[in-house]
Amino acid sequence: MANVRTICMRELAGYFGTPIAYVFLAIFVFLSGIFAFYIGGFFDGGQADLRAFFQFHPWLYLFLIPALAMRLWAEERRAGTIELLFTLPVTMFQAVMGKFLAAWIFTAIALALTFPLWITVNYLGDPDNGVILASYLGSLLMAGAFLAIGSCISALTRNQVIAFVVSGVVGLGFVLSGFPLVLELVDAIAPSIVVDTVRSFSFLTHFQAISKGVLQASDIIYFVSLIVFWLFVNAVAIEWRKAA
């Protein structure tokens, strides 16, 4: 565990050592505000809650998370430090976990920085804080799934731009599979069991369920198993392409 921590701290320090981290945090908080207040009709809804804000998270993560995850492994490959890392007394699990956790903690910090929105809704009205808390948790879980995908894909290339684009596309697949338009399309060409399967694979379906305030085991298990699955593939990918 000490190794996981050491790697995680190095990676976190790496985030904060570059201006990109602060740009990321600023964009995240700024866009969250924009969507909550303007696009989500925060004031027009006549209702003080953060629904619009959270609804927008899958789309926000779609490009912000790949930007966070792209450097995790691609940069180690490009710089050749992967050789340094894996000749230290560290296991594959520790290395993958340490890096993933760093990116996840960074995302949690970004989410935490949106607290003024939460204060605002409480000031303006009387929102269900339980729902808000569940939504935050759901959002963090979903971010973890996006990150695991991004980390895995970053392990397959030494080019951060490629890692960014590909994980964006894969993430989009996971979001869109719950999008009504897509589901109607699938419905038109495939039996309903396929539609259900596609829907059940979507971030949207599970995230929306959690953000209604119902913390169901199945939704949590969905995200956690996605994270585990992608991190496992991540480890296999590193082992497989270590020499490349």
Ligand X SMILES: Nc1ncnc2c1ncn2[C@@H]1O[C@H](COP(=O)(O)OP(=O)(O)O)[C@@H](O)[C@H]1O
37: DSSP letter: I
Q: Least distance to other proteins from the beta carbon of 83, Å? A: 4
Q: Which of 88, 124, 161, 169 binds other proteins (CB under 8 A)?
A: 88
What are the angstrom distances between the C-alpha of 220 and each of 50, 138, 140, 217? 21, 8, 11, 5
187: left (phi over 0), alpha (psi -120 to 50) or beta: alpha
**Considering the rule CB under 8 A, would residue 194 count as an interface residue with other proteins?**
no
Question: Do 127 and 50 touch, CB atoms closer than 8 A?
Answer: yes
- The tokens for 94 are 């520790």
Cβ atoms 208, 200 nearer than 8 A: no
Least CB distance to ligand X at residue 244 (A): 5
A 10 A CB-CB count for 70 gives 25
Q: How far is the CB of 64 from other proteins (least distance, A)?
A: 21
- 161, interface contact from other proteins, ligand X, none, CB < 5-8 Å by kind: none
> Which entry of ligand X, other proteins, none binds 14, CB below 5 to 8 A by partner kind?
other proteins
Cβ-count burial of 36 within 10 angstroms (0-12 exposed, 13-18 middle, 19+ buried)? buried
Q: Which of 26, 79, 112, 194 binds other proteins (CB under 8 A)?
A: 79
Minimal distance, residue 76 CB to ligand X, in Å: 15
Cβ of residue 119: shortest distance to ligand X, in angstroms?
A: 53
Q: Which stretch binds other proteins (CB under 8 A): 46-54, 84-92, 148-156, 201-209?
A: 84-92
C-alpha to C-alpha distance for 121 and 144, rounded to whole angstroms: 26
Nearer to ligand X, 193 or 244 (CB): 244
102, 150 contact by CB (below 8 A): no
Q: Which is nearer to ligand X, 82 or 134 (CB)?
A: 82
Rule CB under 8 A: which residues touch other proteins? Answer: 2-3, 6-7, 9-10, 13-14, 17-18, 79-81, 83-84, 86-91, 242-243
